[in-house]
Amino acid sequence: MKNIYLQLFTTFMKIGAFTFGGGWAMIPLIEREVVDKHKWISREDFIDELAVAQSLPGILAVNMSVLVGNKLRGLKGSLAAAIGTILPSFVIILLIAIFFVRIYDNPTVASIFKGIRPAVVALIVAPVLSTAKSAKLNRLTFAIPIVVALAIWMCGVSPVWCIIAGGLGGYIHYIVNRYSTMCSKKGGKE
């Protein structure tokens, strides 16, 4: 029988090496390898783990590999899986970082990147619209992303504060809601 740690490592390394775009692009591949091919976990468990990986902060692909590795073999398993996920991009980016600096001032490279930069902006505008759609903003919550974006863009507010405020705001909204329904129930009785 093959070593499970080695299997975890190579499986996640394959996933890390062949998915462009990270995160969501990796999920179907992880599912195929972990559920269908190796049968390490059931599909129901996979969906549960995905929900957890999504709700925790951090890199989705790393969260997912830590969860799967941990489920199979605890901490050692999660290390094997996560290092597998990270290693390909780490090595590739390191090589680029070392060599790219040397060709950065080359006029051909400079003109290529001059063309690429506005495209990168467009690549980030697109998910603004798609996440706005899936967040199901209503008339009240519509203002939140606008305030957040302006606060970070114009006032240099740290995104960390916006995240804390968002979580806190959701909690306060829940408390207020519960309090007001409690009051209206009481009022109804009296």
Partner 1 sequence: MMTYLSLFLTYLKIGLFGFGGGYAMLSLIQHETVEVVQWGATAPWLTQSEFTDIVAISQMTPGPIGINSATYIGYTVTGSVWGSVVATIAVCLPSFLLVLLVSRFILRNKENPIIKSIFKGLRPVVVGLIASAALLLMNRENFSDNTFSIAIAIVSFILVYFAKLHPIWVIAIAGVAGYIIY
Instruction: List the interface residues with partner 1, window 62-91 (CB under 8 A).
Output: 62-63, 66-67, 70, 75, 78, 82, 85-86, 88-90
Nearest to 77 by CA among 9, 151, 27: 9
Do 31 and 1 touch, CB atoms closer than 8 A? no
- Shortest Å, Cβ 54 to partner 1: 8
Q: Write the CB contacts of 22 (distance below 8 Å, at least 6 apart in sequence).
A: 59, 60, 61
Looking at residues 136 to 165 of the shown chain, list those that interact with partner 1 (rule: CB under 8 A).
137, 141-142, 144-153, 156, 158-160, 162-163, 165
How far apart, in whole angstroms, are the C-alpha atoms of residue 175 and residue 109?
Answer: 55
- Shortest Å, Cβ 190 to partner 1: 26
Q: Which stretch, 1-9, 10-18, 35-43, 182-190, contacts partner 1 (CB under 8 A)?
A: 10-18
Angle formed at CA 29 by CA 26 and CA 119, multiple of 5 degrees: 35
Q: Is 127 or 188 the residue whose CB approaches partner 1 more closely?
A: 127
Looking at residues 101 to 120 of the shown chain, list those that interact with partner 1 (rule: CB under 8 A).
101, 108, 110-120
Neighbours of 13 (CB within 10 A): 18
